[in-house]
Amino acid sequence: MTIRFSMLFLIFADVSTILLSRNCGDCNFLEDIFNILEEELEPAGNCSYYIAEPSLIHYEVYTSKDPKKPSIYSGESSKINLDTSKETKFIVHGWAESGNQTWLKEMVQAYFNTNHDYNVIVVDWSTYSIQSYPKAVCYVPTVAEAIANFISHAQLQLEKVHVIGHSLGGQVAGYIGQNVQVLHRGKKLRRITGLDAAGPLFCFPFLVDVDERLSSDDAEFVDAIHTNGGVFGCFPDYGTVDFKPNCGTRQAGCPRNALESALASLKISAFNEIVFCSHHRSYIYYTESIYKDNCFLASKCKNCLKFSEKLCTNDMEVEMGEYCPSDVNGNYYLSTKSKLQFKIEYNTL
């Protein structure tokens, strides 16, 4: 992560958090402030020149036979040693990350500590994700195209494929879903989960068309978890169902003034933990939800203000995370604790 990029975003984050808390999520002032980032977020020329090479995208395939030692595949291989009758989970990391991230390994192991028997595939697209943010964004469509071809060549049953993407990986997931529909004559993946899908260049400074970002059209069911909306994550709804823990922008236990806290930090590791605290909570919540159902119960509510005033309808509670039912839609709110375990009772924000 570039410190320059992060610091510029923190300036924007402090302003946007104040405005969003005043129910001003669509204020024109936000767009004016975002102009500060124009140079940093300048699109990388003509994106058509940025074409991902499938052989440079790697797949770590975990099965219950050896859940700690994956088989590694690259490109669009059709010779994959897994049982296609089982549900297959694809996990896609975000910008400036790789398949070696600790959170990915923790999510994989969470799946194998349940009573379910899954195939779990970690997608490592770090050759492209480590580029500057605008360049990484340009690579998203062709990275996703390669992953969709991998799914097709492996002859996976689409009704048993679940793609989970965090941050820029969430936007990759949307494009995967779109490419699968092209390859399979309109047939969709069963589910896509967007974990605080990336906002910059997708949802602001302006909202791009639905075919250029993750949306509810990209799978039979799309669930979204917003934890840093309007900052590093996408603030507008993009799922069949959209969950907004702690109202979806700043998470409990994360610095209220991230800019001031980050400036006080002298260590890069601590800096990143502060800056991306809320953004990263999406995958932390999700991993926790895998271990136990009914872990995060959320209530359907019109907006954050009504949730804060305890005006939601408790009989409309649904589960956020891995075991979210596929027949729900709309916006759901919940509160969390500030530390593990994050589960908390309803409406104590």
Domains and CATH numbers, the chain: 43-294 (3.40.50.1820)
The 10 Å CB-count burial string (b at 16+, else e) for 43-57 is ebeebeebebebeeb
- State the pLDDT at residue 177: 99
Name the active-site residue from 279, 282, 289, 299.
Answer: 279
Q: 333 - beta bridge partners?
A: 244, 299
**What is the distance between the alpha carbons of residues 241 and 326, in angstroms, rounded to a whole number?**
9
Query: Per-residue pLDDT for the chain (349 aa), expressed as one digit of tens each?
Result: 455 565 555 555 555 554 444 444 444 544 554 554 555 566 556 888 999 999 999 999 999 999 999 999 999 777 888 899 999 999 999 999 999 999 999 999 999 999 899 999 999 999 999 998 999 999 999 999 999 999 999 999 999 999 999 999 999 999 999 999 999 999 999 999 999 999 999 998 889 999 999 999 999 999 999 999 998 999 999 999 999 999 999 999 998 765 555 555 555 566 677 889 999 999 999 999 999 888 899 999 999 999 999 998 777 799 999 999 999 999 999 999 987 777 654 433 3
Annotated catalytic residue 167: yes
The 10 Å CB-count burial string (b at 16+, else e) for 80-115 is bebeeebbbbbbbbbbbbebebebbeebbebbbeee
Annotated catalytic residue 16: no
Report the DSSP pairing between strands 330-334 and 297-300: antiparallel
- State the pLDDT at residue 273: 77
- State the pLDDT at residue 26: 45
Question: What is the DSSP code (8-state) at residue 201?
Answer: T
Annotated catalytic residue 162: no
Residue 192: closest CA among 181, 206, 176: 176
Name the active-site residue from 167, 216, 261, 278.
Answer: 167
Name the active-site residue from 124, 196, 218, 223.
Answer: 196
- State the pLDDT at residue 259: 56
What pLDDT, in 10s, does the model give residues 2-20?
555 655 555 555 555 544 4
SS3 244: strand
